[in-house]
Structure 1
Amino acid sequence: MGEVVDREVSAAVTELGADELRQWAYRCVDGLTDRREEINELNVFPIPDSDTGTNLVFTVRSAVECMRSAGPHADLAAVAASLARGAVAGARGNSGVIVSQLMRALAEECRSGRLDGPGVARVLGRASNLVGEVVSVPVEGTIVTVLAVAADAATESAGSDLAAVVLRASESAAVALDRTRSQLSVLDAAGVVDAGALGLVVMLDCFSAVVTGTLPTRPRYHRTIVASNPTKFRSVTEGEHHHRGASSIGGYEVLYGLTDIGEDDVVALRSALSELGDSTVVAGDGAGSWSVHVHTANAGLAVEVGLAVGRVHGIRIDALSTMDCVDGPATAVNADGHGRDILAVVAGDGAEQLYVSEGAAVLRCDTRRIGTSELCDAILRAEHPEVLVLPNGALSAQELVSVSIASRTAGKDVLMLPSSSMVQGLAALAVHDPTRAAVDDAFAMSEAAAGTRWASLRITDERSLTWVGMCEPGNGLGLAGREVVVIGQDVLAAGRALLDQLLSVGGEMVTMLHGESVAGQPDPADVAEGLSVYIADRHPGIEVVVYTGGQPGDVVQLGVE
């Protein structure tokens, strides 16, 4: 893109009012939504979980919803304050929390009732300082770096009019975005710029468009892993990201809101969370509400340290996906010196990654038919004599008995575990211990699977009669096991009713596995997000874990433990 060049800009807009700020917020939602998939594709740091674009969209949408609640006649200060409040409350991921601090800085500046060129420079400078305070370990070549560059450029132009300051900041940020590729080796290895930084550039460009009337033209970015060295990305990723408990073994991204906490407690909380994991951010809206974010292997303890210093709400726990998994079964040696394999039948790319990351070999039942012969062949190809099978409801009990007999006849010691769904299979894998005797390990895994109540959400495509009444095309269906128990006007309504039924008899954790996107239907990730919010509001204290499954048919699979 080259160096920053000052352009001739119109000085007609010298200050921003409430209407212009609203316009900027709406433009940010549109701009981030338009480039969400592109940003997701670029997301390789700090965790390659491909959700930065989605996180930014959710964060800014939350800010806009709060802004709307302030009413159409709210003044500049009230609009800015509501944006900050909504962004902090709805912040998702590292980048979302950082963007919430930009909103907070904006709210602080707008208390004076005006926002001009020098004011914008102060906003960016304050935002950069806030981010430096709330991010536990700032890393060069990320959104933090690009925000600092934009702040410096705006400060240098603070004596100019509003349009010149805003344009200078956005142009400098765009140049800094291109530089991130060479500043962070994991980005260079993947051939990408920083995903969060691109989101920030989109937001600054939207600001420029509101002020100047012209949206800057920017290039589209794509991931370009070097084909001649396919292991380069993987090896650098493993060496660069430093998330204790969230690197090669998975882990969790923990987010929650916090109130009734003093400034000293914030410092102590940030320190305690940094001991538990990485990517620690504790950010406030300037009005007493805080957003907490950390990557850790101990999600429960991360919530507990928050409970010890304030009032926790809106808990969200997502499993972190990793890119350093290998296709193959678990091969640890048990107490008797025998190796053991885990074989699971799954559907969906995301589900396959989850199971492989837990050490299981997988058979995909959505890409080819899996019957008795296919399952038996896979068992016989397993490396070790002992094989634990998670059928996950793909075959009938009679078919599984047939496979067991044939496999044992061929010399395999096979144990079929009673998992009727992928969420039950995941619960079983969570307690798998390859050092135990096979029969003991199978018992513990079977108990975990049986202790997980499972359900699913679907969208009906035709009019039909169920046990609970007639459903119409487009209705949401809630199934407990394999029986329809809820019909909703849409899938989200059905999901809420289904959760109320499942949680009416208790539960401590809800696991969600959202399916593949289908054109013309609600995005399964959005459905899972809506259900997570509903659980936080209506069933506080319930832990929520969300995975990307990519399975066809079920919009969301649910497991309650």
Structure 2
Amino acid sequence: MPQTAQTLDAAAVRSWCSLSLAALGREREAIDAINVYPVADGDTGTNLYLTVESAARALDAAFTDGAAPDAPEAVRLMAHGALLGARGNSGTILSQLLRGMTAVLAAGRDGDHLARALTTAADAARQAVAHPVEGTILSVATAAAAACSGGGELVPVARRAYEGARTALEATPGQLAVLERAGVVDAGGRGLVMVLGALVEALSGEAPAPLAAAHRPVVAVDEDCTAEGGPAFEVIYLLEAEDAAVEPLRARLDALGESLVVVGGDGLWNVHVHVDDAGAAVEAGVEAGRPYRIRITHFAAAAAAGEAEPAQRAVVAVLPGEGLAGLCAEAGATTVLAKPGEPPASGDLVEAIRRAHAREVVLLPNDADLRHTAAAAAEQARAEGVRVALIPTRAAVQGIAALAVHEPDRRFDEDVVAMTAAAGATRYAELAVAERQSFTSAGVCQAGDVLGLIEGDVAVIGQDVTETARTVLDRMLSAGGELVTLVVGEGAPEALAEALESHVRRMYLAVDTTVYPAGPGAPALLIGVE
């Protein structure tokens, strides 16, 4: 018999998070397929998955080198990670449900506290939504809390919450006309049931019975089954703002659009709204504080992309710097921007593969540290019927070389071989600034030294960016080369590219040089030698 938990400890919280992610991964397509409210854009399952993936990343980062957070901190990390990565209406509400549980579970993690935490969470989620609607994830959350309101032992409380949520989910078509017309249950509510089922499994060791087939779509969803006349854009952003600024922001956004959800607290908020004037929604955030990670989706464009015939082949590339991403997008690639300190998750890569809308995809991670993330994304996309080839590019210059020889009209295998060969024939280097004194393969560096890394290892330590770059180039070209690619970041000296081009022309007559601006977010200089 599986051993049941008596308390929601840190290990159980981590298990709950990982099991939720696995469950949403399995059910993502089914949940997307029944997404008809508030907008039939078919992404609720994906948004919930990405939200929980962000929570899992935040939690996993705390379990390193034998260290582990205590239970209250684990719950807080899970909720905070979900807040940072919340996507869509349901993902944003789920993040608030998790946040609503944190204070109660910090005081205790037995059955009585879990019951109170679920009640607090359901109340917090309703308060975060400008105009709560029954028949949605809110109804399911409220029913889950009501089903275990009496408290009791931990596992029975979790099971009652799950069963209450399932029963409420089955009732959603009778509460919301658009669901009844489509013949489906609420997509967000279904996702919450999966999360509560994962909680039962984490605590009891036994997975609840799967949802009945009737929870899957029973009729094709058409335009008559969707909400009509809605706003054109979905706007989401994180916002750093004082608590006092949030209520005026809510009022302004509520006047601009609908489906408004503002969650968070303690100076950090996640804002979600559907509007016709996306600029005004962002401007409202600017007046309230500092908005960032701004995502704007045009519903009509997204729907058109979903209805269009898939292209035969596409390239998906991870790139540092907006300028470089724009350059590769102009060359036909679907790009994912890797921000400093914020590497993309596998869900971000899967979303980009879907956005490429192609039967065949070549995936270029362009970072050695992303190889496992990219492999997981490729595996998930293959399970969805997309033919994916992962070329293990370790730097952006290798990705540029691969993209340069990409020919979508030739056979897939031949294209992949040519792109792989071009990437493999490109040696790469990068300039970085040492943050502290440390031992390197080139000797001891001091804070502020300029480091020249060749193929990931420190090869040169210098004090001047241009001189260090020249030395790195000379070392790379000593082994031969025909083409030098310089990707120049926003923080590089103004005359760096010109000085390096002149050096190559003077010292290496048969070598050509190409310069690309990387824009903000990229290292000062990336070098490729083919």
1:87 shift after superposition: 0.6
Is 1:173 paired with 2:165?
A: yes
1:181 shift after superposition: 1.5
Distance in 2, Cα, partners of 1:38 & 1:81: 29
TM-score, normalised to structure 1's length? Answer: 0.56
1:453 shift after superposition: 8.1
Superposition pairs of residues 195-274 of structure 1, within 5 angstroms: 195-217=187-209, 218-220=211-213, 221-225=215-219, 233-239=222-228, 243=230, 246=231, 251-262=232-243, 264-274=244-254
Are residues 150 and 488 of structure 1, via their aligned partners in 2, closer, same or farther at CA, if it must alter by over 3 Å? farther
Name the counterpart of 2:80.
85
Distance in 1, Cα, partners of 2:405 & 2:137: 41
Distance in 2, Cα, partners of 1:453 & 1:306: 28
Are residues 455 and 318 of structure 1, via their aligned partners in 2, closer, same or farther at CA, if it must alter by over 3 Å? farther
Q: Report runs of 4+ in structure 1 exceeding 3 Å deviation.
A: 9-12, 364-367, 460-463, 468-473, 475-482, 484-489, 500-504
Name the counterpart of 1:161.
153
State which of 297, 303, 306 in structure 1 corresponds to 2:282: 303
Name the counterpart of 1:402.
none
Are residues 476 and 82 of structure 1, via their aligned partners in 2, closer, same or farther at CA, if it must alter by over 3 Å? farther
Superposition pairs of residues 9-408 of structure 1, within 5 angstroms: 12-71=4-63, 72-112=67-107, 114-156=108-150, 158=151, 160-217=152-209, 218-220=211-213, 221-225=215-219, 233-239=222-228, 243=230, 246=231, 251-262=232-243, 264-284=244-264, 286-321=265-300, 350=305
SS in structure 1 opposite 2:156? helix
Measured against aligned partners, the alpha-carbon deviations of 1:477-523 in whole angstroms (never above 9, x if no partner) come to: 698999x999768xxx9xxxxxx97997xxxxxxxxxxxxxxxxxxx
Are residues 365 and 235 of structure 1, via their aligned partners in 2, closer, same or farther at CA, if it must alter by over 3 Å? closer
1:462 shift after superposition: 12
Are residues 476 and 131 of structure 1, via their aligned partners in 2, closer, same or farther at CA, if it must alter by over 3 Å? farther
* 8 Å Cα contact 2:233-2:274 kept in structure 1: yes
Distance in 2, Cα, partners of 1:78 & 1:365: 45
* Structure 2 letter corresponding to 1:143: I
Distance in 2, Cα, partners of 1:365 & 1:265: 45
Are residues 366 and 57 of structure 1, via their aligned partners in 2, closer, same or farther at CA, if it must alter by over 3 Å? closer
Are residues 18 and 188 of structure 1, via their aligned partners in 2, closer, same or farther at CA, if it must alter by over 3 Å? same
SS in structure 2 opposite 1:312? strand
Name the counterpart of 1:448.
none
* Structure 1 letter corresponding to 2:276: A
Is 1:538 paired with 2:521?
A: yes
1:455 shift after superposition: 3.0
1:154 shift after superposition: 1.4
Superposition CA RMSD, Å: 4.0
Distance in 2, Cα, partners of 1:41 & 1:106: 29
* Structure 2 letter corresponding to 1:219: A
* 8 Å Cα contact 2:260-2:273 kept in structure 1: yes
1:275 shift after superposition: 1.2
Name the counterpart of 1:380.
none
1:300 shift after superposition: 1.3
Distance in 1, Cα, partners of 2:305 & 2:281: 25
Are residues 477 and 224 of structure 1, via their aligned partners in 2, closer, same or farther at CA, if it must alter by over 3 Å? farther
TM-score, normalised to structure 2's length? Answer: 0.59
* Structure 2 letter corresponding to 1:45: Y
Superposition pairs of residues 395-434 of structure 1, within 5 angstroms: none
* 8 Å Cα contact 1:209-1:215 kept in structure 2: yes
Are residues 48 and 462 of structure 1, via their aligned partners in 2, closer, same or farther at CA, if it must alter by over 3 Å? closer
* Structure 2 letter corresponding to 1:289: L
* 8 Å Cα contact 1:177-1:198 kept in structure 2: yes
Name the counterpart of 1:459.
362
* 8 Å Cα contact 1:120-1:165 kept in structure 2: yes
* Structure 2 letter corresponding to 1:276: L
Are residues 352 and 188 of structure 1, via their aligned partners in 2, closer, same or farther at CA, if it must alter by over 3 Å? closer
Are residues 238 and 162 of structure 1, via their aligned partners in 2, closer, same or farther at CA, if it must alter by over 3 Å? closer
1:236 shift after superposition: 4.7
* 8 Å Cα contact 2:10-2:71 kept in structure 1: yes
1:129 shift after superposition: 0.9
* Structure 2 letter corresponding to 1:455: A
Measured against aligned partners, the alpha-carbon deviations of 1:216-248 in whole angstroms (never above 9, x if no partner) come to: 11224322227xxx9xx5335245xx63xx2xx
Structure 1, gaps ≥5 residues long: 1-8, 326-348, 354-363, 368-451, 494-499, 505-533, 540-561
Are residues 502 and 94 of structure 1, via their aligned partners in 2, closer, same or farther at CA, if it must alter by over 3 Å? farther
Superposition pairs of residues 517-556 of structure 1, within 5 angstroms: 538=521
1:351 shift after superposition: 6.6
1:295 shift after superposition: 0.8
